[in-house]
Chains A and B, each alone.
Chain A
């Protein structure tokens, strides 16, 4: 059954009206709960929002996220989640996610969908051009600085630890010194 959220609210409203007649919902709840994630594969994750680090169980069936809920084993959240943590289902199941690289040419008024290969080639050439034009072997005092002054980077606390290490490696390898991110704001 493909029920939209608003449709679901209508249905649950109807259920509540029925339960108002004195019919216990308990057997229904007990039956419905295991069905929801039946045959689903479970993995754990940690909430991507604030820094508490709540653990979340993600249930996947046929390659699609069908449920996310608080992980009761976590000593941090013991199964609880806030409004944001409770919504991470919508981060994966969301028609508005960017799904292709986009390119905006100088002075253009529109995005254009492009191939990864094309985009990364062009970025790499830009990086080289900017770096070569702004690379300083020495500063005004003649001290060796080996730095690229024409490129800056901000990002990111949204990356994983491993990616953070890798990203700083990439940037410092390019010679950047203007390296900042969310921690400064």
Chain B
């Protein structure tokens, strides 16, 4: 999230689309409601279903799952046509004026795709900017050149007429226009609009582009960086922001440093290739500091046991262009590529798309380690439905870990706020904090390599691990020491010039904590486990522990409550909340202000002194935000494509039906026999309805914790399928009937909830039904499975198995996040053929 949760109270218009915060982030509504009550804010909800969030909205507009780009593309057209943009913001803080290669062809003139597409991949030469002899990007500040980004944007979205959008999305035209009008009203400098999304936008083959479309809107309206504005990516887990920050993904090291590939043979190669450069004279280009962060990270891994170059050499490298993401893991596992597997604090048997494939894949392993609080469908996969333990070779270790109140440490919420949690009680039984478990395991592996040797032995034996104390056989992991490691240390005495004050020098001693990431060094003299957290621990202790309740900002920043990355900045891009002279666009809602000598308010982002001309989006090499985004794999502007599994024969927008660069697992030589889709080339009458997965307030994720909590299990006891009254009538289904929901990949039993919350869509004259299922269930807590004598038995049983038994192995073109928000199913009453 760009802004804090309580900043919703500063908004004039709140758009909920791609999420349902009333159910899934319930406390967010405290602030949404305050905006409505105190500011008279308008709440809009756009969703296939009339959700709990919709019930609180002033305006609800239905849309068919997977058509968000069409809906929002129409809004871009509306905003441009009615000239609702914040002109000065667009001109100075975005790439609107940049000139693009005249050879670029856009989907409207190129059969639905951008120029450069060959064999499912884009060559991007024609997407590039025009540059002068000095390398500087050519611009047209009048925004009239036909090749400038602004004109291209206008041209591209001119095709997204309300009539056409309505035929695609199923949203009545007058509802579209009402949403466009209300949201478009926030283009005035004294108005703020915010958008709230979650997995409703990411879990699509066009997931990244869904979000891009909204970013374009927010930039056109001048809503980025301001109080009450921004884009709220509401994350699904308490620390999924933090686990991503810390690089628990194949493609990134901690702090969003791209993981090295094999062609980058030395640290020098890595730094040269991965450090962006710019010829734009006023741009700060923050990522120019990449070499400081990579060196400091390598020091946090190997300390001074290895040189930073040797540490770089020894670290694992990806093959260039190869993908090692979630869907690939289970594909490779199914194909016998792994002997060992850790599922640490996860339940992939229910959480991953295509659970049947995932569960089958686990039977091919030699061993698996599952660390969790409760028995779950992953650790016990070998005794799940359809499994014969006598035929399954996998050796499984189920290790019990401490819960969040049985250990201490910090987590980062959606708005990058790092908050400390204290230990209240000792872990249950013999369970241990995860940090103890991973440390003990590390020491055992290290000992084996130290004694017996093995390939790449030093990668293990040279790691530093001063993270606690050994007491007998047990290791007591100390999170406070690790928090310091993440912040970073000086590894030698150093006299340095203050990076923000020329001429001022400061002495540091070996072992001192680094004050902020601006002081990190590229020569190996500093360490930092994750540079964005540098500054979280210092002379004043661990700032995540702060509990200051004072708000001096007047807008609710509460800058002394815990600590947020980067450098305790609460609203990122806040440099864009002021004009080039440092004057807030809206003085009544100022985030930062120049008092004549210095900035006051939030920690300023990207700004120099007023009048310096520095563009505020410092994480972009050219310093401005991207209306035009040539960095993505699937196009510089978002274009509407149908979900892979969809209920229409054709894409009404263009001849290109699906995102042209997605990786299809049913292609020859790619996936497996289990990777099947329905309704791709043409509609499949076996699976006529759109299905989407979602959550309820009382459960969390696969229910791996909440199904075992009787209060929660009793409130939401089992799998249901929510369907419209019209569809129920057509299928002879009554509320409470047991039904079978079936896709090309599997089926689940569910109780029918017949509701007016779903309405059939009119898609280009055809009636299309959508149904929805929650994804919290699994067989382990059901009453009818076989319990062994030592098994834990839930106090309240739940009913039904995983929603992901139905979902498919198709992912977003950029991220490979599976498309679990739009796939095709059938629903029949149980026992009816």
A interface residues (Cβ-Cβ under 8 A, vs B): 5, 41, 43-55, 58, 60, 63-65, 68, 73-78, 80-85, 87-88, 90-92, 94-111, 113, 116-117, 119-135, 137, 139, 141, 143-185
- Asked if B442 is at the interface (CB within 8 A of a chain A CB), the reply is yes
Q: Which residue of B lies closest to A143 (CB)?
A: B262
Task: Indicate whether A145 sits within 8 Å of B316 (C-beta atoms), given known contacts A165-B485, A168-B254.
Answer: yes
CB–CB B317/A143 < 8 A: yes
21 contacts between A and B (CB under 8 A): A47-B238, A51-B237, A53-B417, A68-B405, A82-B26, A83-B697, A88-B404, A92-B406, A97-B428, A98-B792, A99-B428, A104-B394, A119-B399, A126-B395, A128-B452, A143-B265, A151-B340, A154-B344, A165-B530, A172-B315, A174-B459
Task: Indicate whether A156 sits within 8 Å of B351 (C-beta atoms), given known contacts A137-B456, A151-B340, A185-B326.
Answer: no
Stretch at the interface among B122-130, B669-677, B700-708, B717-725: B700-708
CB–CB B409/A185 < 8 A: no
CB–CB B238/A157 < 8 A: yes
Task: Indicate whether A50 sits within 8 Å of B25 (C-beta atoms), given known contacts A90-B711, A166-B435.
Answer: yes
Quick one: which of B28, B337, B426, B479 contacts A163, CB cutoff 8 A? B479
For the complex, give the distance between the alpha carbons of A130 and B340 in Å: 6
CB–CB B313/A144 < 8 A: yes
Task: Indicate whether A51 sits within 8 Å of B424 (C-beta atoms), given known contacts A137-B455, A182-B346.
Answer: no
Q: Which residue of B lies closest to A65 (CB)?
A: B425
- Asked if B374 is at the interface (CB within 8 A of a chain A CB), the reply is yes
Task: Indicate whether A83 sits within 8 Å of B346 (C-beta atoms), given known contacts A161-B246, A182-B243.
Answer: no
Task: Indicate whether A111 sits within 8 Å of B790 (C-beta atoms), given known contacts A50-B25, A106-B395, A155-B342.
Answer: yes
Q: In angstroms, how far is the closest chain A Cβ from the Cβ of B760?
A: 30
List the B side residues contacting A47 at CB < 8 Å. Answer: 238
Q: Which residue of A lies closest to B369 (CB)?
A: A123
- Asked if B397 is at the interface (CB within 8 A of a chain A CB), the reply is yes
Quick one: which of A60, A128, A184 contacts B249, CB cutoff 8 A? A184
Number of chain B interface residues as a range? 35 or more
List the B side residues contacting A134 at CB < 8 Å. Answer: 339
For the complex, give the distance between the alpha carbons of A96 and B259 in Å: 40
Q: In angstroms, how far is the closest chain A Cβ from the Cβ of B158?
A: 36
Q: In angstroms, how far is the closest chain A Cβ from the Cβ of B537?
A: 11
CB–CB B248/A52 < 8 A: no
Task: Indicate whether A80 sits within 8 Å of B30 (C-beta atoms), given known contacts A97-B374, A180-B248.
Answer: yes
CB–CB B348/A154 < 8 A: yes
CB–CB B710/A90 < 8 A: yes
List the B side residues contacting A141 at CB < 8 Å. Answer: 262
CB–CB A146/B338 < 8 A: no
Q: Which residue of B lies closest to A53 (CB)?
A: B413
Q: In angstroms, how far is the closest chain B Cβ from the Cβ of A60?
A: 5
Which one of A137, A155, A171 has the greatest number of beta carbons of chain B within 10 Å?
A155
Interface flags, B359-375, vs A, CB<8A=1, else 0: 00000001101011111
Quick one: which of A44, A120, A185 contacts B422, CB cutoff 8 A? A44
Q: In angstroms, how far is the closest chain A Cβ from the Cβ of B705?
A: 6
Q: Which residue of B lies closest to A173 (CB)?
A: B463
For the complex, give the distance between the alpha carbons of A174 and B459 in Å: 7
CB–CB A45/B243 < 8 A: no
For the complex, give the distance between the alpha carbons of A85 and B709 in Å: 12
For the complex, give the distance between the alpha carbons of A80 and B329 in Å: 40
CB–CB B483/A154 < 8 A: no
Which one of B250, B382, B424, B710 has the greatest number of beta carbons of chain A within 10 Å?
B424
CB–CB A73/B549 < 8 A: yes
Task: Indicate whether A181 sits within 8 Å of B556 (C-beta atoms), given known contacts A107-B391, A166-B439.
Answer: no
CB–CB B248/A161 < 8 A: no
CB–CB A146/B479 < 8 A: no
List the A side residues contacting B26 at CB < 8 Å. Answer: 52, 82-83
For the complex, give the distance between the alpha carbons of A74 and B463 in Å: 38
List the A side residues contacting B343 at CB < 8 Å. Answer: 153-155
CB–CB B817/A101 < 8 A: no
CB–CB A166/B424 < 8 A: no
- Asked if B633 is at the interface (CB within 8 A of a chain A CB), the reply is no
List the B side residues contacting A44 at CB < 8 Å. Answer: 421-422, 547
Q: Which residue of B lies closest to A63 (CB)?
A: B425
Q: In angstroms, how far is the closest chain A Cβ from the Cβ of B557?
A: 9
List the A side residues contacting B479 at CB < 8 Å. Answer: 160, 162-163
Q: In angstroms, how far is the closest chain B Cβ from the Cβ of A119?
A: 5
Q: In angstroms, how far is the closest chain A Cβ from the Cβ of B833?
A: 34
List the B side residues contacting A182 at CB < 8 Å. Answer: 236-237, 240, 243, 346, 351, 701
List the A side residues contacting B661 at CB < 8 Å. Answer: none
Stretch at the interface among B175-183, B443-451, B597-605, B762-770: B443-451
CB–CB A180/B325 < 8 A: yes
CB–CB B424/A45 < 8 A: yes
For the complex, give the distance between the alpha carbons of A21 and B769 in Å: 52
CB–CB A100/B326 < 8 A: no
Q: In angstroms, how far is the closest chain B Cβ from the Cβ of A138?
A: 8
List the A side residues contacting B429 at CB < 8 Å. Answer: 97-100
Q: Which residue of B lies closest to A156 (CB)?
A: B345
CB–CB B250/A81 < 8 A: no
Q: In angstroms, how far is the closest chain B Cβ from the Cβ of A102?
A: 4
CB–CB B239/A158 < 8 A: yes
CB–CB B243/A154 < 8 A: no
Task: Indicate whether A155 sits within 8 Å of B262 (C-beta atoms), given known contacts A87-B712, A161-B418.
Answer: no
CB–CB B400/A184 < 8 A: no
CB–CB A162/B710 < 8 A: no
